[in-house]
Structure 1
Amino acid sequence: MTTPFTILGAGVCGLAMAAELSSRGAPVTVIDPQGPPGAHACSWWAGGMLAPDCEGVSAEPEIQRQGRKAAAWWQRHGANIHKNGTMVVALGRDQGDLTTFARRAPAAQRLTRDQIGALEPHLAERFAAALFLAEEAHLDPRETLTALHDRLARRSVAFQTAAQGPLIDCRGLTARDALSDLRGVKGEMLVVRCNDVSLSRPIRLLHPRFPLYIVPRGDGVFMLGATQIETGERSRPTLRSVMELMNAAYALHPAFGEAELLEIGVDARPAFPDNQPRIRHLGDRIYANGLFRHGFLLAPALASMTADLLLKGITPEVWYEDHRER
């Protein structure tokens, strides 16, 4: 009989771990004192962009390589994936940033104004040039987490408070009680409704001071984000960050000036010093953590590598550290 596994934490990492192990026939229990996915989870506030090429512009090559597996993994596990690509734009004074981005993202296709209009009609009057990464995708984090939780429950994954079997710790920033090199990187986001703008895919606005990404959620609702602040504070949004997000959205399209502000969210993302994740064997517990701003992009790879380690004895090719006494 396969050993039962207990996973601590029901955020994106914990649920992805449960999905991977249970899909391979392992009995799984998930423990989270906060209950089902909700506002207490850092991943609840994510953008949900599965954008390895965009992230590869500033992240390590391994993040881009492992992230390419994410969209297919999420689709296999029931997520509603939107495969509409990513568009990258810059204001007139920042066109040099667009050129630099294109050099670092070889897969990017350059778009003329007419080509922009064919993909995003509401942006054609605002931008004469853009980049398009056709293979990228996005998902709705809240819809995905809730659906995956319910799917796992229907498939006999237990969600409770008592632990049994080997422990896999996916508690995110809460695991600082055992991982001294884990830090919090705060991100802030807005949810707005603007029925005067229609977008079919995530848009990234390059800006030297406040870069923006905006992700359509349907029915005129958009998620805006981009802030990255080095702090352990999890719950306090700042006026400056919120104002800059609003200003960036207005620069993308003036109609956002009349948008209805639905929600302001903030949380701290768990990160190690090099902003890459870890599968760390410490004592009798495995810690899967440090997803930084790549939660939905890298959780599938982290879960797959951990499952290979536990079920097949295959040492992960990257990000694995064995700190057990020998």
Structure 2
Amino acid sequence: MAYWSILGSGVTGLCIATALYEKGEKIEVVENPNIQAASYFAGGMLAPFCEGESAPDIVVKNGQLSVEWWDNHVSNVKKTGTIVIAPPRDMSELRRFANMTICHEWVDPGKIEKDLKGRFSEGLFFPSEAFIDPRLALQELKENLKNKGVSFHTGSPKGKIIDCTGMAATSSLKNLRAVRGEMLIFECHEVNFLRPIRLLHPRFPCYLVPRANGRFMVGATMVESNDDSPISARALIEMLSSVYAIHPAFAEARIVETGTGCRPSFPDNIPQIIEQDGKFYINGMYRHGFLLAPVLALDFVRKILG
């Protein structure tokens, strides 16, 4: 039996650690306190069918397995589906989205979410999708492993290395690139949504994900850039305009947090398991970390244990 040193405690590292521990492997997790994992800024949507609008079929197929995995490992999975809407002038975008995806139904959005009543005449409902609060989910995975005796530390690795460090592995993975994402969290108690809302726009689509205590996370931007500086004024203005289009009550919301993260991505935007220089690298999650990390973890376990 090998002793495994997992580098990185983002969503990939924690899923790998969990999968290995469950197979009886001896593991440790080596963290870098100076690096904030991109998954910290994730939306936490487990939405494989919506992702089919732009992602290849493998993401849709494998992503369906992740809902059950998360439901078996953390306590905050909400299986409430996803609503996709568009302003009247952009109904062609909604029809295009419907043609590119599966497992949805046309609905009156106000009959699914009461606070959308009278605001949008048509929308798409993906009933089998789910979402989680990513920060709570990562914390729960980590605490579960710690409670079982798994060591988390910032020292030198002692075992065979599994590198799950995202953009920090750029020097070893030459074709890895960064895709910048920007997000904000705001608080508004006038609106209560039970599920993620995706607003379509030909130039600036966005998603709105409910959090606890009247908070919402908004994310949208996908910029080919390695710049992890604070959020741009343009992105902030466009995100706020989008949430106002979803519901005007959000105009009185209070901004709690803004953030940016650089998502590690390969040229085809599909994650990979790479064995190189005596190490394993599991990387390239793009924007599908929570959707695909459990699947990559199970694939890795099958690869090494047979």
Q: Pick the TM interval, shorter chain.
A: over 0.9
4+ residue segments displaced more than 2 Å: none
Give the CA deviation at 1:175. Answer: 0.3
Distance 1:156 1:76 in 2: 20
Distance 1:109 1:209 in 2: 24
Aligned residues: 305
Distance 2:273 2:285 in 1: 11
Task: Name 1:169's counterpart in structure 2.
Answer: 163
Letter in 1 for 2:19: E
CA contact (8 A) 2:110 2:119 kept: no
CA contact (8 A) 1:194 1:220 kept: yes
Distance 2:198 2:210 in 1: 12
Give the CA deviation at 1:33. Answer: 2.1
Distance 2:21 2:235 in 1: 40
CA contact (8 A) 1:9 1:31 kept: yes
Give the CA deviation at 1:75. Answer: 1.6
* Residue of 233, 244, 250 corresponding to 1:239: 233
* Residue of 121, 128, 138 corresponding to 2:131: 138
1:276 aligns with 2:270: yes
1:151 aligns with 2:150: no
CA contact (8 A) 1:186 1:267 kept: yes
CA contact (8 A) 1:19 1:77 kept: no
* Residue of 36, 48, 51 corresponding to 2:47: 51
Unaligned runs of 5+ in 1: 313-326
Instruction: For residues 183-235 of structure 1, give each alpha carbon's deviation from its aligned partner in whole angstroms, at most 9, with x where no partner exists.
Output: 11000001001111110000000001211100000221000001101101123
Task: Name 1:265's counterpart in structure 2.
Answer: 259
Instruction: For residues 61-110 of structure 1, give each alpha carbon's deviation from its aligned partner in whole angstroms, at most 9, with x where no partner exists.
Output: 00111100111111222242000000000000000111111111121100
* Residue of 126, 142, 158 corresponding to 2:119: 126
CA contact (8 A) 2:85 2:199 kept: yes
Distance 2:293 2:162 in 1: 14
Task: Name 2:26's counterpart in structure 1.
Answer: 27
User: Normalized against structure 2, the TM-score is what?
Assistant: 0.97
- SS of aligned partner of 1:29: strand
Distance 1:275 1:81 in 2: 25
- SS of aligned partner of 1:229: coil
Instruction: For residues 132-161 of structure 1, give each alpha carbon's deviation from its aligned partner in whole angstroms, at most 9, with x where no partner exists.
Output: 000000000010111111111111211122
* RMSD after superposition: 1.1
Counterparts in 2 of 1:9-24, with a 5 A limit?
Answer: 9-24=8-23
* Worse-matched range after superposition: 165-174 or 75-84: 75-84
Counterparts in 2 of 1:44-123, with a 5 A limit?
Answer: 44-112=40-108, 116-123=109-116
CA contact (8 A) 1:79 1:148 kept: no
Letter in 1 for 2:224: E
Instruction: For residues 42-61 of structure 1, give each alpha carbon's deviation from its aligned partner in whole angstroms, at most 9, with x where no partner exists.
Output: 10100000000000111010
Unaligned runs of 5+ in 2: none
Distance 2:32 2:268 in 1: 30
CA contact (8 A) 2:110 2:120 kept: no
Distance 2:211 2:33 in 1: 26
Letter in 2 for 1:70: S
1:202 aligns with 2:201: no
- SS of aligned partner of 2:157: coil
- SS of aligned partner of 2:170: helix
Distance 1:177 1:130 in 2: 44
